[in-house]
Amino acid sequence: MKIVIVGGGFAGLNLAKRLVDEHPIEVTLLDKNNYHFFPPLIYQVATTFIEPTNISYPFRTIFQKRKNLKFWMGELKNIDTEKNVIETTTGNIPYDYLVLGMGTETNYFGMENVKQNALPLKTIDDAINLRNHILLNVEEIIRTADPVEKNRKQNIVIAGGGPTGVEVAGMFAEMASRIVKKDYPELASTGQIYIVDALGSLLGPMSKKSQEEAYKVLDKLGVQIKLNVSVKDYIDGNVLLSSGEQIPTDTLIWTSGVIAREAPGLPKEAVGRGRRLLVDAYNKVVDTENIFAIGDQCLQSTDINYPNGHPQLAQVAMQQGKLLAANFKRMASGKELKPFQYQNKGSMAFITKFKAVADLPKLFVKGFLAWLVWLFIHLIPIAGFRNKLRLAYNWAWAFSVNRSALRLIIRPDKKQRDI
């Protein structure tokens, strides 16, 4: 049985890890990067609190000495459902069963100016790019005499009031109040941080208590919160809002929406809302015989508790990956498959130092206790024991002394980037 997994995120990695050493199953894991990374913490890379290596780990190291699993670096180009072959940027791979777990990409809702000029935050590359942008901007602010230009460079607009937007806003506010003034004494002020969301509350998917706490904490930090307002365009360094207001800024951080990655070659009938692939109770893509989709890329309506599909969360992806692995083993031995049902273990969001919110089953926690729970929960799934230690050390140092040693502007020159 040859199983090809496309995407090494939470879904694909958990599937692959539970199929190692399961003969006669042969697994090929395809990913455009040679490493797995932990998306919930990339905003801390962008805000200079942790290194990219704290939340990333090479696939080849994860699967060392696993004879039935091989890693293939490349991107999916097309699926030939008749020949059971996928075409990638680095060659073709045959399969008996194909599993798609490519996740999502940033959705700009057709706004071309935003797409070209805003700063997304979905990948390690995005996080490093944002970090460099912010640090370079501060250096330019110090040298700028024009008050209008200085104001534009100092303002930061975050589009999207979900967990990522709230966490980014909180971390930048933390930097402005505790860190920037130490490193940049020339700055008389640090400008405004805006968070904009089309909904009537922050942390839309979470409880009302979490929403109210996030608003209260960010408001106290001086973040300008604009609800029931959306970004309509970004022209000449000005963010245009649906309310008619314009905010001058060189930094528009886009955390406002995602769309599932494309899977070329599948029937149109298999594609649903948000480009997510429609799957049955066992995560098999509709109108296919041997293709499955898991994680953020799939839309499953068979779970009685989630008739409109599951939330695009790490826990859903991990649970689907684990169950599909078990079902492949059942398939190999001729046993009956088990349908997927999501076990909701709660959700949480970091707001700022010592402040977080957690919606746990039958329990709401906020403040310092929620912050400790957040730290612990986010250490568990990090790949690699050394990564956990480094991350714990970085957190302890940064949060105890209000200082981070990671504010380095490291950019390959153009000749190196073109190699």
pLDDT of residue 22: 83
- Spell 394-408 as b/e; 16+ CB within 10 A means b: bbeebbeeeebebbe
Residue tagged 């797409």 (tokens): 115
On whether residue 298 sits in a domain, the answer given is yes
C-alpha to C-alpha distance for 7 and 263, rounded to whole angstroms: 12
What string of pLDDT tens digits covers the 419 residues of the chain? 999 999 999 999 999 999 998 888 999 999 999 999 988 889 989 988 888 888 898 999 989 988 899 999 999 999 999 999 999 999 999 999 999 999 999 999 999 999 999 999 999 999 999 999 998 998 899 998 899 999 999 999 999 999 999 999 999 998 887 777 777 778 767 789 999 999 999 999 899 999 999 999 999 999 999 999 999 999 999 999 999 999 999 999 999 989 999 999 999 999 999 999 999 999 999 999 999 999 999 999 999 999 999 999 999 999 999 999 999 999 988 899 999 999 998 899 989 888 899 998 888 999 989 888 887 777 776 766 667 777 776 666 666 655 555 566 776 555 444 44
On whether residue 393 sits in a domain, the answer given is yes
Question: Same domain, yes or no, for 252 and 283?
Answer: no
pLDDT of residue 417: 45
On whether residue 297 sits in a domain, the answer given is yes
Question: Same domain, yes or no, for 122 and 235?
Answer: yes
Tokens encoding 76: 């999916």
Kindly report the pTM of this predicted structure: 0.91
Number of domains, the chain: 2
Amino acid at 365: V
C-alpha to C-alpha distance for 390 and 44, rounded to whole angstroms: 14
Question: Same domain, yes or no, for 121 and 249?
Answer: yes
Question: What does residue 190 show for φ and ψ, rounded to 5 degrees?
Answer: -115, 10
Find all residues with CB under 8 Å of 145, minimum gap 6, and list them.
none
User: Would you say 196 and 253 are in contact if contact means Cβ atoms under 8 Å apart?
Assistant: no
On whether residue 48 sits in a domain, the answer given is no
pLDDT of residue 419: 41
Tokens encoding 381: 């799934």
User: Would you say 75 and 97 are in contact if contact means Cβ atoms under 8 Å apart?
Assistant: no
pLDDT of residue 73: 98
Amino acid at 410: I
CATH number at residue 86: 3.50.50.60
107 SS3 class: coil
152 SS3 class: helix
Question: Same domain, yes or no, for 123 and 216?
Answer: yes
Question: Same domain, yes or no, for 162 and 201?
Answer: yes
The domain of 360 spans 112-256+351-401
pLDDT of residue 397: 64
Question: Same domain, yes or no, for 178 and 189?
Answer: yes
On whether residue 417 sits in a domain, the answer given is no
Range list of β-strands (E), 142-257:
156-159, 193-197, 224-227, 231-235, 238-241, 246-248, 251-254
On whether residue 61 sits in a domain, the answer given is no
Question: Same domain, yes or no, for 90 and 219?
Answer: no
Amino acid at 413: D
DSSP character for 335?
A: P
Neighbour-count burial of 321, counting CB atoms closer than 10 A to its CB (0-12 exposed, 13-18 middle, 19+ buried): buried
CATH number at residue 197: 3.50.50.100
On whether residue 155 sits in a domain, the answer given is yes
Question: Same domain, yes or no, for 163 and 189?
Answer: yes
DSSP character for 342?
A: -
pLDDT of residue 310: 96
Question: Same domain, yes or no, for 98 and 136?
Answer: no
CB atoms within 10 A of CB 154: 22
Closest of 54, 83, 84, 88 to residue 71, by C-alpha = 88
C-alpha to C-alpha distance for 298 and 120, rounded to whole angstroms: 22
Closest of 148, 12, 127 to residue 69, by C-alpha = 12
pLDDT of residue 398: 65
CB atoms within 10 A of CB 311: 13
pLDDT of residue 399: 65
DSSP character for 100?
A: E
Find all residues with CB under 8 Å of 227, minimum gap 6, and list them.
161, 197, 199, 200, 201, 202
Question: Same domain, yes or no, for 251 and 268?
Answer: no
Question: What does residue 105 show for φ and ψ, rounded to 5 degrees?
Answer: -135, 170
Amino acid at 226: K
Closest of 105, 106, 114 to residue 232, by C-alpha = 114
pLDDT of residue 382: 72
User: Would you say 227 and 158 are in contact if contact means Cβ atoms under 8 Å apart?
Assistant: no
Amino acid at 302: T
Closest of 54, 51, 42, 48 to residue 134, by C-alpha = 48
Tokens encoding 393: 């050390």
Question: Same domain, yes or no, for 251 and 265?
Answer: no
On whether residue 379 sits in a domain, the answer given is yes
pLDDT of residue 396: 67
Closest of 57, 59, 71 to residue 27, by C-alpha = 71
C-alpha to C-alpha distance for 381 and 55, rounded to whole angstroms: 10
Give the domain-ending residue among 303, 332, 361: 332
Question: Same domain, yes or no, for 155 and 215?
Answer: yes
